[in-house]
Chain A
Amino acid sequence: MVSLTGYMNKKGQKRVIPGFGLTLGITISMLGIIVLIPLCSLVIYTAKLSPKQFIDIITGKRVLYAYWVSFSTAFVASLINAVMGVIMAWVLVKYEFPGKKIMDGMIELPFALPTAVAGIALTHLTTTDGWIGSLADKAGIKIAYTKTGIIFALVFVGIPFVVRSVQPVLTKMDNSYEEAMEILGATPFRTFRKVIFPEIFPALFGGFTMAFARCLGEYGSVVFIAGNKPFETEIAPLMIMSKLQEFDYTAATSIALLMLITAFVILMINSVIQYKAAKKAK
């Protein structure tokens, strides 16, 4: 059905529902003040940099290493969350067990808990005399102040993303495919690989990229556990922070710009995949 408002617009007549000018005006002016003007100032500031300056800064050894640390830890953490997220979504959708509601309600805790609080708690747990750290130390693994520690913190931050994007897809999915596969004698693993995985893949990938983008920029929970040693556990957001503390705005802006571009590229890849999946579903 053609909506009345849409129809009236095409005719160029007055809209039926009032408030267009007022709400649009407020929306655009607030958007301008909070989002657009600040972003413009970033662009203006970057335009002052010469390309050589920019390239010199972002290819500095310490900066490149910080990017590598951020990228690799965010990737591994998001991968762990992708696997655990699918398992958790599966358990929460397909099984009934006591305590299920509490488990389901807990998933969003990383969103609700301030990152700094999570950071110091995880650090203390994983130092060599912490509850988890002392166990790991016996096995010869050090967690706090290493890359493992960064991954640990990022896994915490990224927990909700994959679970919450896969859960609705699994809920909607009909059991009949799985039953048919079982009757036909397929192993559960084969059923998962051939039937379930292709169905949940777009949602899984969406959750993965959101978690990845979030982990790349994460600061609060990581600074405490990372130890922040240059060429070892220094992450890119921390590089920006330390450049700012030296009032070296040029360097901070250059590093930030590359991170912004990376985040946009990741999100664009995701939207292409989501678009293709939506097209295929039709």
Chain B
Amino acid sequence: MRKENKLVKWIMISICALFLFVMLVLPLGYIIYTSLSDGVKSFISSVTDEYTIKAMKLTIITTLWAVGINTVFGLCASWCLTRFDFKGKKVISALIDLPLTISPVIAGLVFLLTYGRQSVLYPLLEKFGISIIFAVPGVIIATIFVTFPYISREIIPVLNSIGTDEEEAAALMGMNGFEIFRKITFPHIRWAFLFGVVLCSARAMGEFGAVSVLSGHLKGLTNTLPLHVEMLYQGYDFTGAFAVSSLLILMAVVILILRNILEKK
């Protein structure tokens, strides 16, 4: 390599390093630094605050629901979209990707219109005593919506690339559907599936816009961790907000590490 090229190389690397440092490392470092600036004690007291723990529980429950529902959907959708040809296949896959292009705030609005007071469904819901808007089910359903495509999108390309030969052979030899899936298909898609689960949980834990529309911000009831951070911040409890944020950063870093491990498999 010529000398001039080497210089270009190091200039380019420095530009990237500087950019990533300012945009990514500095914000993270700042949060952790500020959350510890009042001492470890106040950090622990904000993290173990009653409302923080309630918010964390709700975040975990929401994430589990989103991952669970999207697992069932992701596996079914990728099976039927890659294993069979039928009319309307393109429409279905376009509809699955739709939540990716919709602003979270609009996603929240859409559910507000569906289950809110002015909806045709509202009298029906009221009759059965089900409240969705400004309640936990609303938070969960909004999260499912924004994470809807995450698992199927990771599995579909893998299923397409492995083809159907093995499964056809197994079917002709008399294996039933669940056996085929468990013994033949699943080993192929295991890592892609886990990868999707990781992405799905990352998004589910961090979702803010859609959940913010539907939760009604009821402290201790419908506040997820990101909403709790907002509430602390707007109450000028910066140390508290940053302490809870560092919990979310910890989760994000764990997710990134998992992601990088899974991507290599």
Contacts and interface: CB of A to CB of B under 8 A. Distances in A.
Interface stretch (B39-47, B71-79, B123-131): B71-79
A249 B116 CA distance: 10
B168 A16 contact: yes
Interface string B24-56: 111110110010000000000000000000000
Contacts of B85: 5-6, 9
B256 A41 contact: no
Contacts, number: 264
Nearest to B230: A116
B233 A224 contact: yes
Given A27-B92, A97-B13, A105-B260, A114 B205 contact: yes
Contacts of A20: 80, 83-84, 86
A15 interface: yes
A117 interface: yes
Contacts of A125: 26-27, 30
A217 B16 contact: no
B102 to A, nearest CB: 7
Interface stretch (A55-63, A253-261, A274-282): A253-261
Interface string A67-103: 0000000000000000010011011000101010001
Contact of B249 (A6, A22, A30, A113): A113
Contacts of B207: 114
A27 B230 CA distance: 35
B193 interface: no
Interface in A1-42: 3-6, 9, 15-20, 22-24, 26-28, 30-31, 34-39, 41-42
What band does the interface of chain B fall in when counting residues whose beta carbon is under 8 Å from A? Answer: 35 or more
A115 B114 CA distance: 26
B171 A16 contact: yes
A230 interface: no
Interface in B3-38: 5, 8-9, 12-13, 15-17, 19-20, 22-28, 30-31, 34
A121 B27 contact: yes
Nearest to B8: A188
Looking at chain B's contact residues, the main secondary structure is helix
Interface string A247-273: 001001100100110011001000000
B256 A35 contact: no
Given A120-B241, A252-B109, A259 B103 contact: yes
A237 B209 CA distance: 9
Nearest to A48: B118
Contact of B256 (A26, A108, A117): A108
B177 interface: yes
Contacts of B23: 155-156, 159
A4 B99 CA distance: 34
A244 B112 contact: yes
B101 interface: yes
A174 to B, nearest CB: 18
B255 interface: yes
Interface of A: 3-6, 9, 15-20, 22-24, 26-28, 30-31, 34-39, 41-42, 44-45, 84, 87-88, 90-91, 95, 97, 99, 103, 105-118, 120-122, 124-125, 131-132, 155-156, 159, 188, 213, 216-220, 224, 237, 240-241, 244, 249, 252-253, 256, 259-260, 263-264, 267
Given A18-B171, A110-B24, A120-B233, 6 more contacts: A16-B168, A38-B114, A113-B248, A114-B207, A188-B5, A219-B104
25 contacts: A17-B83, A18-B177, A18-B180, A19-B80, A27-B81, A31-B92, A35-B96, A35-B98, A35-B148, A37-B114, A39-B98, A45-B118, A84-B16, A87-B15, A109-B252, A112-B202, A114-B248, A116-B229, A159-B23, A159-B24, A249-B113, A253-B113, A256-B110, A260-B102, A260-B106
